[in-house]
């Protein structure tokens, strides 16, 4: 008899009927973090930046991944997905245990996951095993605008990757690895694209319209 093969399908840790996950993507410096900070204030989201979680893990005393993460970030490449997904899952569990108020009763929660998924393997794995996402907000602008913003931010950010060489590598990774993720979700009708070239206030107005649409049920999960 031919050997049987089994395919393991993960059950997501969090129920997407209770937990809303919105991914926030766009080129480096597009304004993802800036917009998320304001959305948190007005809609009581938990904002999880994958980059921030990785930097915290990199700097955590005793972390076995510190040096590995530092190298990937400096090179502008994507840290192996298992690390980032575990950090996100833990942070989500923490927030679900601690947060309260609008959107956070009876095991419910709402998350803006910023700068993730950056690569197709992360997208598929997160949706399957952590929580099915509702939408991607995609902040789109030109490389010229991105470069200007990152160069300016680099004067004070202290980030090891806000320098000309790392920025160039991050742009390449964005085109090669992250644009396919945006196209993948776009084909499922799960992308809201917002031009992030105008002022912070103008971009924010569009962002709130998208979030109101999500809560009004405009975007149905595939």
Ligand X SMILES: Nc1ncnc2c1ncn2[C@@H]1O[C@H](COP(=O)(O)OP(=O)(O)OP(=O)(O)O)[C@@H](O)[C@H]1O
Ligand Y SMILES: O=c1ccn([C@@H]2O[C@H](COP(=O)(O)O)[C@@H](O)[C@H]2O)c(=O)[nH]1
Q: In whole angstroms, how close is the CB of 193 to ligand X at the nearest point?
A: 15
DSSP state of 27: S
Residue 33 annotated as binding site = yes
Partner in contact with 109, chosen from ligand X, ligand Y, none, beta carbon below 5 to 8 Å by kind = none
Count of C-beta atoms within a 10 Å radius of residue 210? 17
Q: Is 103 annotated as a binding residue?
A: no
Q: Could you tell me which of 16, 39, 34, 41 has the C-alpha nearest to residue 149?
A: 34
Complex with ligand X: residue 14 or 72, whichever CB lies closer: 72
Residues that bind ligand X (CB under 6 A): 26, 28-34, 51, 115, 149, 152-153, 196, 199-200, 203
Minimum Å gap between C-beta 165 and ligand Y is 13
* CA angle in degrees (0–180, nearest 5) for 92-73-63: 60
Would you say 119 and 86 are in contact if contact means Cβ atoms under 8 Å apart? no
Q: Is 154 annotated as a binding residue?
A: no
Contact 68, 109 (CB under 8 A): no
Shortest gap between Cβ of 43 and ligand Y (angstroms)? 21
Would you tell me which residues interact with ligand Y (CB under 6 A)?
Answer: 28, 49-51, 54, 72-73, 76-79, 84, 115-116, 118, 122, 161, 170
* Residue 92 near residue 111 (C-beta atoms within 8 A): yes
Binding residues for a ribonucleoside 5'-phosphate: 55, 77-79, 115-118, 122, 159, 170
């Amino acid at each position: 008899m031919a050997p049987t093969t089994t395919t393991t399908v993960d059950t997501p840790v969090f129920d997407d009927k209770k937990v809303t996950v919105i991914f926030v993507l766009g080129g480096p410096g597009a304004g993802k973090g800036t917009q998320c900070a304001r959305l948190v204030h007005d809609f009581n989201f938990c904002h999880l930046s994958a980059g921030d979680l990785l930097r915290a893990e990199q700097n955590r005393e005793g972390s076995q991944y510190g040096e590995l993460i530092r190298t990937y970030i400096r090179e502008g490449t994507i840290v192996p997905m298992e690390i980032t997904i575990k950090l996100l899952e833990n942070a989500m569990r923490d927030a679900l245990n601690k947060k309260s108020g609008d959107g956070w009763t009876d095991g419910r929660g709402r998350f803006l996951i910023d700068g993730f998924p950056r690569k197709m393997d992360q997208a598929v794995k997160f949706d399957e095993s952590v929580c099915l996402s509702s939408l991607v907000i995609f902040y789109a602008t030109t490389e010229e605008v991105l470069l200007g913003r990152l160069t300016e931010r680099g004067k004070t950010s202290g980030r090891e990757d806000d320098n000309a060489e790392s920025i160039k590598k991050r742009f390449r990774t964005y085109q090669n690895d992250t644009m396919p993720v945006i196209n993948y979700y776009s084909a499922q009708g799960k992308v809201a694209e917002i031009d992030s070239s105008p002022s912070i206030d103008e971009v924010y107005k569009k962002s709130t319209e998208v979030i109101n649409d999500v809560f009004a049920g405009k975007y149905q999960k595939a």
